[in-house]
Structures are given as C-alpha cells and as structure tokens.
Structure 1
Amino acid sequence: MNRFLLALVFVLAFNFTSVNAQNFSTHQVKDGETIDGIAKRYFVTPLDIYSLNPDAKKGLKPNTILIIPISKAKKPEVTIVKELKGFKEHKTRRKETLYSLSKEYKVSEDDIKAYNKFLYANPLRKGDKLKIPIFKVTEVVDENPHITEYTVLPKEGKWRIAYKFGITVKELEMLNPDMGEVLKEGEIINVPNLEGEEVKNIDEQYSYYKVLPKEGFYRLKLKLGLEQSQLEELNPDLKETGLKNGMILKIPYSNLASGVMRAESESINLIDSISDFKTKHIAVMLPFRLNRVDFDSTEDTKKSIKEPYLNASLDFYSGVLMALDSLKTLGISLKVDVYDTKYQVSEVSRIIDENDFETVDAVIGPLTNDTFDKVASRLRVYNTPVVSPIGSDLKLYDNVFQSKPSDGLLKSKIVNFVREDSLTSNILIISDSKTIEVSNDLKREFNQAKQIHSRKNKDGKDDFFVTKEDIQAGLKPGKNIVFLETTNEGFASNVTSVLASLNKSKNIELNEPAVEIVLVTTNINSAFEGDQINNTHLSTLQFHFATTSKEYNFNENNSFVKKYNNLYNTTPNKRAVKGFDLTMDVVLRLVSSENLYMSVKNAALTEYVENKFSYKKKLFGGYYNDSVYLVKYDDLAIIEVK
C-alpha cells in the first residue's frame, strides 16, 4: 500500500505587524460621521484608517466597527477621582466669596455647598462658619477607552467572539496580535467597548456564516437560499452596515452551505471524559456474505476472500476488533453483536425481527445504502442510533449518523480556500468532456477564471490531452491557481506534467514576476493516484485537495498502527483505520455522555488516527459529519493545511 508521510500541520495565518495591543483602538461609526471627522478626533490621517479598514473606502455605514491606530499626538483621557480626607474650618471675612474661597482652597464651589447646605438657600455672609472639604485627588489615565477586556468562555472560538462584538475575525486578531490559533478558556483578550450596547449572543439553534471577499446578496441567495430581507431580519445591523468581507451572519440551521462556521476549538480527547462504566451494548452489521465462502479447501477459501464485499468487511472489522481491544484496556465494558447482512435487505429485516434491538445503544453499519436505510427506518421506533461508516448520500432519519462528510462539503472546502487567497492573480479551470459540468460550476463561482478543455480527435471524441501552448496562453505572471477536474489518469498525467514544466517560468525580456502555479481539485480520485502520475510534479505544484481522512504518519509512534502491524503482519489500510476510528468514537461518546445524541453537544470535535468527527443535526432530520481535511503535497509528503 503506497502511503505518504504526514508532516507537521502547516498553519496559514494572517501576518500582522508585531505591535502591542494598546497601539489600536476601535470606533463604532455613528450616523452622519465621515472619515475626515473620525481621523481628526483621533489625531490620525484618513489614510491611517483606510490602511486598517479597506472596506471603509466604499463608504461609512452606521454601527460598523473601525480599527483606529492610536496617535502619539492624542492626549489620553483622564478621570479625576476625589477621596474625602477631612475638613478645615473657615470663618468668612468681609468681601470673601464662594469663588475666592474655591480658589484659595482649590475646591469647587459645588464642593463647598455640598458640605454647607445652608448656602443653597442663602448667600455667603461675613461671619459664616464653613466646613471646607479636603480631598485626596488621583488622576486615572484611560489610554484606550474604546477597548475593553474580555474573558474567553469554555469552547469559545474566534468567530463566536467576533460575532458577539460585531467585528470580523481579522479585526479581532488585529486587536490581539499575540493571540494564538486556538483560544483557551479563561484567556483575557481585547474587544471593542460597545459603550453599554448589548453584546450579541450565540444562539445554538442557528448556524453562522462568514462572508467571503466580493460576496453580495445575490451570491448569498444562490449559496444559502436566503433573500436579502431574510438575512436582514436575522441580522438587524445588516441594514445599516451592509455586507462586509469577513463579517459573521446568523442563518437558519438548515442552511448548511460552504462557509458555515464550524467548531474552532481543539479536538476533544474523550478518554479524559469517561464517566459511565456501565456495560454498553453495540451491534456491528457488515456484508461478510459468509454463505458464499467455499471452505472445501484452503485455495478455495482464499479465492472467496477476494470477493469485494467480504474483503471490505474483513478490513473494516479488523479495525473494529483493534478498537474493542483498546477500549477494554480503558476499563470499558461492552456487549458486541456482529451480524452478516449478506448484502441483502431481506436478511437485514430477518436480523431485526429475530433479535432484540431495544437495548442496543448504537448500531455501526450496514455498509450499503439500501440495507442501511432499512436498518435505520426499522430502528427509529426504539430511537436507536445507527451510524453509517461509508454512506454519503443517505436519507437522514432522526436516528441516523452519517460519519462520511458529503462531496459538497469537500468541494466547498477547496472553493473557499481559493476564494480566500488574496495573493492569487489568475485562475484556470482545466477539464475533460466528462467534467464539463463541474468546470461550468466553478466558472460561476469565479467569473474571471479561464476555462481550458481537453482536445478532441477528428471524430469529435475526447483525446484526453492538452498542449503546453493551451495552458501557457492562460497563465499570468504571479500566482496562478489551476483547477484540474478529471477522472482520467492519462489526462491527469498529461496536465500535471505540462504544469510542472511551466511552474516558476519567467519572461526575462519583459522583466515580469515568475509564473507560480498551485494545483487544486474539487474531486480527489484514483486518477491522481495511478502509476502514470508523477508525485514529484504534484509536490512541485503544491497540489491541494480536500479529503474525508488524512494519512497517518509512519514516523510517529502510533500505538494502533504498531499493534495492527504486529497482529496482522501488514499495515492497516483506510478501511481498517476507519473501522478503528469509528468504533472508538461511537463507544467513547457513549461512555462520556448520556447517549450518542447528547454527545453531539458535549463533544464538538473528536479526532483519531485518520478521521475526525464533528456532527451537526439537520433541522428536521439526523446527524452528519461536518468536518473534512484540507491537505497538500509537500516534498513528496501529504501534509494538512489549516
């Protein structure tokens, strides 16, 4: 099995100038204010404000939060705090007045009246005996009244705090230059001082969407299915501020399109949360089809095992067995029923009819959609959770857990990655005749992109190749992102070879920047993994793609991989790893929460050898895994990009 080394996570982050937090302030725009007026108020220039708030060039809108550089010329605001220390008696003389006494004792006329009440009704007369207050005066300097401190709450990420205070994640990071990628509970950070205005709350009944660059209400309607009026109803400030790059919008829970905010917190290790040591009852249903295995001879048995469903089931089940062994060492008590579905809906019905599933805490499987649908629909009456290992287009009954992320989520991951790359100067979409529809979808996402199609022969049939000139004509100096959409290995080999030869090329005569090419695809498939593909070319092109699972690192001391290799004398394939990861996750969720349904709230994100699980619930339906990996080729290894 050909596997690549999994390197350390390559983190993409904003490169902000290293400054202290007090070098920035915030200003909430009020109706009628101008950039010139705001700049004068803070002793800075309009250019200073525009440099930190590019969207302000399009005009100021009320309630927008601006990041303001603090000018050295601006005097800090000072608050006078007076503490009464005692009194001094004074007998008034002729011609003395409250004004002259206030100057003599350095107190205000109001202070004198406050401790000599008769002066409110009568004028000061010669011979009056007064109590003159003596204060200890302290000046409190408030250098930045527009920023206040905020204590991070449990499981709270950057986007949640940004939404609460009406700013973007980038602006939050600018106010906190030393902020890490993951916030910790109890951490103190800087946020805008909203001057008594109510901070917005995160309502878990809704989802939240991050507005992408150049995204307007029309594109959001296509992506989220929401009219402008509906978005404004959910986000009242939107009427005044308009759409802003990076702003967080509240949307209905069912509108789960690309860009919807997901758990930002680190993955939870459920081993540390085990609280229920009662015996848990799980069932595993796989299409072994043992009735078709020929046991007459060793040779016949070996031939039978090559049957695809039995082979896949044995791989997956080997991982399940490894997980059960690991769970046993943690002190977890399990009752496990294993059923052979024989790849037949009728057999599934017979299994359910003849066995008691009312006491089962969770079912893992079956693998195929028809048999899975039958199990899920039949077990709804018991509210028994049924977890699908590989299905991605399932009917989500309210008891269904779809562990494999959808293809749409994978595509969205790549599209958003490209959309958010501000350094890209050009986008190409290369496709063959079978992926024209995908190419056209991407063209609608990126209007300025150029499309290149594979050449056809004299009979009009696809020849699955392009020339160097075809691609070279579409490239520009600087960074080019190239989508390659194909399921044909020969075409993938042809295109990647040409792209690799053009990468880093430069027109010396015109003195232009070199051509930099980054290769991406919305559909990683066997065409990119065949023998014709040169992995050196993929590394040269920094090939990016989204995947449901990452590859484990051979160099890491992974106890599962080591034990599996010792037991079976081979490295675990993806099916075996999925069996291990999924079984570990299901059982650990059961013993750390009241049930599998409650674990969705208690364990936002879990991660194991190659797979991670972050379940979301459809408004009227079951649960689906909302977490995928973005990876890239780097020096002949595949590493995760965050």
Structure 2
Amino acid sequence: MNRFFLVLVLVFALGFTSVNAQNFSTHQVKKGETIEAIAKRYFVTPSEIYALNPDAKKELKPNTVLIIPLSKAKKPKTVVVKELQGFKKHKTRRKETLYSLAKKYDIAEEDIKKYNKFLYADPLRKGDKLQIPIFKITEEIEEEPTKTYVVQPKEGKWRIAYKFGISVKELEELNPEMGEVLKDGQEIIVPNIEDEDEKEVDEKYSYYKVLPKEGFYRLKLKLGLEKEALEALNPGLAESGLKVGMILKVPFNEAISIETSNSINLADSIVDFNSKRIAIMLPFRLNRVDFQSKADTKNSIVKDRYLDTSLDFYSGVLLAIDSLKTLGVSLKVDVYDTKNEVGEVSKIIDDKDFETVDAVIGPLTSNTFDKAASKLRPYNVPVVSPIGLNLKLYDNVFQSRAPNDKLKSTLVNYIKADTLADNIMVISDSKHTAISNSLKRDFNYAKQVHSRKNKESGEDEFFVIKEDIEGALKPGKNIVFLETKNEGFVSNVTSILASLIKAEDKSTNTEAIEITLATTNMNRAFTGDGVSNEHLSKLQFLYATTSKSYKETDNNPFVKRYEKLYNTTPNSAAVKGFDLTMDVVLRLVTSEDLYMSVNNAPLTEYVENKFAYKKKLFGGYYNNTVYLVNYQDLTIVEVKQ
C-alpha cells in the first residue's frame, strides 16, 4: 500500500468522525476475491470502488484495505418462511403471560392463539394446557420486480428498452430522472428478468419503434411485413400485442432506423496520444488568385465561390487544430489545393505519401471526391466528404452529410407520432408534384392543393388564393406541408395561412384553428427577403435539417474564439470545418481507427453538426442523423424527437 493510499484510508477512518463518516465503509481483501465480487457484495458498481481506490485497477492484493461507498441501491428484500414441524405441550404456571411464553419459545403471541383458539375469547390462566407450535424458520430472498442496470457504451434508450422487453416510454417511467442523454456507466432501473431472457441488438437487422395508433395493418403497409412475420421475429409479441414505443426487430432496411440521442463527448475519452496524420483537400484554386494588390486579391476571393467556401471551411479547421492541441492531441496536417480538377487530385495522390495518412477530409465536389476515394481505397484510407450527397459509397467513404430521404423520414415520422394532428394538407407547385404524391401515400387522408396555372399557357403561376386553402382546413390542429423552391409562392402561402389561424371564441361559437407549417425540403425560398419571419414564427415552421444554427446567447467557446481571431461571426462553412475536423480526429484518438469509431461512438455532436455513421450493407458509411427544428418567437429552436 503506497503512502498516498494509506493517508487516504486514515483520512476516511479518522478524519470523518462527523456526518461524512456514514458515507463509507472499508473491506479487507481476501485471497482470490475480485472487484466484481466485492462490488456485488456491497451493492455498488466496480467503477465506484475504483474511484476511491485507483491503485486497485493495477493490482488487487490480499489484505489490501478498500474504501467502499455505502450503496444507494435498493437491497433485495428477505421474507421469513415458517414451516410447522409439530407441537410441544406446556402447562401454564403462575405469573406466565402470552408475552413471556412468546419470548420463551421465540414465537409470536398470535402463533400461540392460532393453535389454542380458546385464548381468543378467554385470558390465559394458571393450569391451562397449551400446545406450542414448533417452526422451522428459513429466510428467502424476495425477487424484486426491478434491478439496477449500468449503461454500456453505445447504448441509448431504445437499445436498453429492447434488451429488457419494454417500451421506451416504460423505461422513462421507471427512471423519471434519467435525462435525455444516457451516459456510459450511468445506473438506471430496469425489469428484473433472467439473463437468458435479455435480448441483444443484432446489427444484421433493423429496429423499428411503434408509433401511436399503429396497428398490424399500418405496419404491413409501412414495413411490408405480415403480422405472423413480425411475431416470428419478436417472441412474446403475440401475447403482448403492439404497444406505443415498443421496439420491433425487422429485416435489415436502410430506410428504417431509430434515432439515438445518446451523444458522446469524445474529448473525455482520449486514449491514444500517438501522433495522427490527416490530409485536407480543398478547391482553393490559388492559381486563379490575382495577388498584384490587396484589392485584387479580395476581388478574386469574392468572385470565386470555391475559394470563398474553402477559406471559410479552412478557418474552422484551423481553430479545431488549435482546440485539439489543448487536449493533448498530437497532429500532423497536410493541406492540398485540388484546384477543383480531377486530374490534380490524381497527381497529388500519386506524388505524395498517403499510405500513412489516418484520414482525408475532402475534396468538396462530387467528381473530385470520387477520384480521391477510389485512388485511396487500396490503402484503406478513410475519406470524409464535408458536403457531398449521393456519393459512390466505396467501403472507405464517410458521407458526413445525411441523405435527403433521412430529412423527409424524420419529419414524416415525427408528424405521424403527433396524436393531436387533426388534418394534413400538402400545398405544392407543379415542379414538386412527385413529393406531394409521396406525402399523400404517407398520409392517405391528406388533402392536396396545387398552385394555380395560367389558363392559356398552362404554366405554373406560383400562387393560390385564400379559398383554395380555407376549405381544406379543419377545426383543431392542421399540419400543412409546403413543397416549393419559389420564394414568391412561399410568401403567398405563408401570408394566407397566417391569416387563417383562429382562436376559440365561445361567444360567437368559433372553433380554434391551429396551423403548423412544414416542408420536407428547406431551401433558400423560405429564407428570402420577401418571406415574413413573423408569419413563419406564427405558423411554428417545422423542418428537418443537417445542421442547426448556433445561438449567440449560448456563449459558445468556438464562436467567441472565432470572432476574436477573425473579427467576424463564423458562417456555416466555418462551423462545419471546425465540427468535422474535431469529430474525425477525436474518433481517431478514441478508437483503433475511423472505421472502429462507428461502433464505439455512435453519436457525436459539436457546435452545429452531429454525426452518427451507419454502414451500407455493401459499401461505405453515411451520416444517419439530422436535427428537427421549428420557429418559435422569431428564433429557430431544436425540437426533441
């Protein structure tokens, strides 16, 4: 036992003679004992013992004195079982009472009365002949309906709910203070089932959370599975039936996934302090910049959108590198100008040594990115796309931007779960008829409204009138999808919808009409100067997005440092540069490599972006998480899913 540990034991043994003394006990280790066994004996976790006894991690020697925290866990109840073995005769003497006889024979007074029934009516007298019951006393542990469970890495609410055969809602009811985000090592209450009855999540399957009002017929339409097939995959379903929030095992389907909210802070989990090497490939196109004067250089930047975006992105990368350095991460960074040319990408990779590169961030455009990914594939070097969509997902590709169908499915599933929605309407222009029809399939009772067309030319005029919408609304909550990329059409529709919101007025027998505006494709049309933010806020405009805007009131350290260094607020490209670089490098220093980090760090989140990579069955990885946000009081806030 080292001196530090000895002092610690003495402090706890001698120094805490007041209230604090009751928070700890000690245990002398016996030969062959393990921390797990000791933890079980005292109803604590191994991590709680290690926290007070750090030396025990290295070696657990016999006769070592451990400091044991007093458990807050519920102890198992014991039940005394009395088994009647026979009787002993007793003749009552003078001054004997039921109390003294009960003490003498170590039984209850009620037990004497039970087998000598005359005592219920008459008092005990001298000379009474009694039969004293003889019991065999045993203690049995009464099985608790619940037990304490320690959250494992990668586990979110739905995984634990599935493991113990309950719904997410039931898990939350068992743990009202568990919080939105579960942490590795957190203790929660779960059903006390046998170990062999616990279900494990099989990554070869997908998992689906049952929504309100969903029966087997609706699941058949959505999942393409008959009731019998679901029951075969989910033992016990036939007996329990469907419940809201229940987790169902279904055949693998990339379109089906349960969003996990268990975000991990990788900065607290760094285990590898060996130097890492990353490469940044961006289309700076410095060969086009006019360096003759400061004004010419500025003009070159303004005119070249590739250079402008690359500089913003790279400014975020630089701050990430600085932040990583303060965390003790050793990093070598190679920066390359791709000139936005496929040939230049090939030349860079051929001329430079990429075999020892741990990860590549970029290039930005699809064609140059595909070239980099395909050429680095033989070296198994992971290539991370900052903004690309619909990429060729080679097995070394990480698409950091979530696909568009994820945006739609997140929004649609959220609205389907809204039990208060009384009516669905889809308003679209002619260019978005396909998405309107798709939403009609998702909500078969939805009403469709199309923008008006020129009677002579048949061309879309991008407007509707009040009567087109008013007749399709219902009293109660109305969800209205608006699908367009035309700013004028957005302005036209939002102003009409805002005017149709009504409060309940009992004096005039007017029923309330609530309207929530939504879109599956958030684009510049909704943020144009001609669109009223007051109307959007009044309509609680709802949409899914790959990134959320930071709030200036959050006092984010990155934003503060960026403003101090660059004398301006960071735009989305700068934030993405910071977030993506932080994520890639932290994944490298907390896992064996970027590929392994997909399992070790299922969800990470930074300033404006979060990352939860999912592997295609045959191919690479794509970000499978998005934000759901809406307008509230002229600000955009995240909606909890």
> Which TM-score tier does this pair reach, normalised by the shorter chain?
0.7 to 0.9
Counterpart mapping for 1:27-106 below 5 A: 81-82=81-82
Which residue in the other structure is 1:501 paired with? 499
Match of 2:333 in 1: 336
Give the aligned partner of residue 607 of structure 2. 609
Q: Distance in 1 between matches of 2:173 and 2:511?
A: 30
1:207, distance to aligned residue in structure 2 (A): 2.8
Whether the 8 Å contact between 2:151 and 2:188 is mirrored in structure 1 is no
Corresponding residue for residue 281 of structure 2: 285
Tell me the residue number matched to 1:408.
405
1:343 offset after TM fit, Å?
Answer: 1.1
Structure 2 match to 1:300: 296
Q: Does the 8 A contact of 1:216 with 1:243 survive in 2?
A: yes
User: Which amino acid counterpart does residue 269 of structure 2 have in structure 1?
Assistant: S
Alignment of 1:287-436 (within 5 A): 287-305=283-301, 306-436=303-433
Unaligned runs of 5+ in 1: 1-76, 92-103, 108-129
Give the residue type in structure 2 aligned to 1:348.
V
Q: Which moved more, 1:442-451 or 1:325-334?
A: 325-334
Distance 1:372 1:232, change over 3 A: farther
**CA distance in 2 between partners of 1:292 and 1:183 (Å):** 50
**Deviations 1:174-220 (CA, angstroms, capped at 9, x unpaired):** 455555434454534253x6689823222244331112234456655
Task: State how far apart, in whole Å, the 2-side matches of 1:423 and 1:256 are.
Answer: 29
- Correspondence for 1:478: 476
1:303 is aligned with what amino acid? N
Counterparts of 1:303 and 1:195, CA distance in 2: 70
Stretches of structure 2 lacking an aligned partner (at least 5 in a row): 1-76, 91-108, 113-130
| Number of positions where the alignment pairs a residue of Structure 1 with one of Structure 2 | 530
In the alignment, the residues of structure 2 paired with residue 196 and residue 376 of structure 1 have an alpha-carbon distance, to the nearest angstrom, of: 44
**Match of 1:290, as an amino acid?**
L
The alignment partner of 1:409 has SS state of: helix
1:527, distance to aligned residue in structure 2 (A): 0.6
In the TM superposition, what is the alpha-carbon distance from 1:280 to its structure 2 partner? 0.6
The 5 Å alignment of 1:144-159 reads: 147-155=145-153, 156-159=155-158
What does residue 512 of structure 2 align with? 514
- 2:14 corresponding residue in structure 1: none
- Counterpart for residue 169 of structure 2: 170
Provide TM-score, normalisation by structure 1.
Answer: 0.76
- Contact conserved, 2:436 with 2:483, CA < 8 A, in 1? yes
The answer on whether the counterparts of 1:224 and 1:257 sit within 8 Å (CA) in structure 2 is no
2:635 maps to which residue? 637
Shift of 1:397: 1.2
The corresponding residue for 1:212 is: 211
Distance in 2 separating the partners of 1:442 and 1:351: 46
> Which residues in structure 2 correspond to 1:528-547 (within 5 Å)?
528-547=526-545
Q: For residue 170 of structure 2, what is the amino acid of its counterpart? A: E
CA change 1:131–1:479 in 2 (3 A) is closer
In the alignment, is the contact (CA less than 8 A) between 1:349 and 1:375 conserved in 2? yes
**How far is the alpha carbon of 1:223 from its aligned partner?**
4.6
Counterpart secondary structure, 1:167: coil
- Say what the alpha-carbon RMSD is for the aligned residues: 3.4
CA apart distance, 1:148: 2.8
| Aligned partner letter, 1:632 | N
Q: Determine the structure 2 residue equivalent to 1:251.
A: 250
Q: Find 2:553's aligned residue among 540, 555, 566.
A: 555
Relative contact order, CA 8 A, sep 6+: which one is greater?
A: 1
Residue of structure 2 in register with 1:271 after alignment: 267
* Deviation of the 1:83 alpha carbon: 8.3
2:455 pairs with 452, 458, 461, which one?
Answer: 458
Residues 488-539 of structure 1: per-residue CA shift (max 9 Å, x gap): 0000011111111111255767724310111111111001000001111111
Tell me how far apart the structure 2 counterparts of residues 484 and 146 of structure 1 sit (CA, whole Å).
Answer: 53
Shift in CA distance, 558/196, structure 1 to aligned 2, threshold 3 Å: closer
Instruction: Check the 8 A contact 2:283/2:307 in 1, yes or no.
Output: yes
Tell me how far 1:238 sits from its aligned partner: 4.2
Q: Deviations over 1:567-622 (max 9, x none)?
A: 22211110010001100111111111111111111112111111111111122211
Counterpart amino acid of residue 207 in structure 1: S
Q: Deviations over 1:347-371 (max 9, x none)?
A: 1111111111100000000111111
Q: 2:6 corresponds to which residue?
A: none
SS in 2 for 1:429: strand
Looking at structure 1, the residues matched to 622 and 350 of structure 2 have their Cα atoms a distance apart, in angstroms, of 28
CA positional deviation for 1:164: 2.6
Match of 1:593 in 2: 591
CA distance in 2, matches of 1:274, 1:572: 27
Q: Give yes or no for the alignment of 1:621 onto 2:640.
A: no
2:170 aligned counterpart, secondary structure: helix
Q: What is aligned with 1:34?
A: none
Using the alignment, how far apart are the partners of 1:397 and 1:331 within structure 2?
A: 32
Report percent identity of matched pairs: 67
Q: Is the 8 A contact 1:477 1:512 kept in 2?
A: no
CA distance in 1, matches of 2:340, 2:227: 48
Retained in 2: the 8 A contact 1:504–1:517?
A: no
Matched residue type, 1:640: E
The answer to whether the 8 Å contact 1:477/1:506 transfers is no
The 3 A distance-change label for structure 1 pair 464 and 353 is same
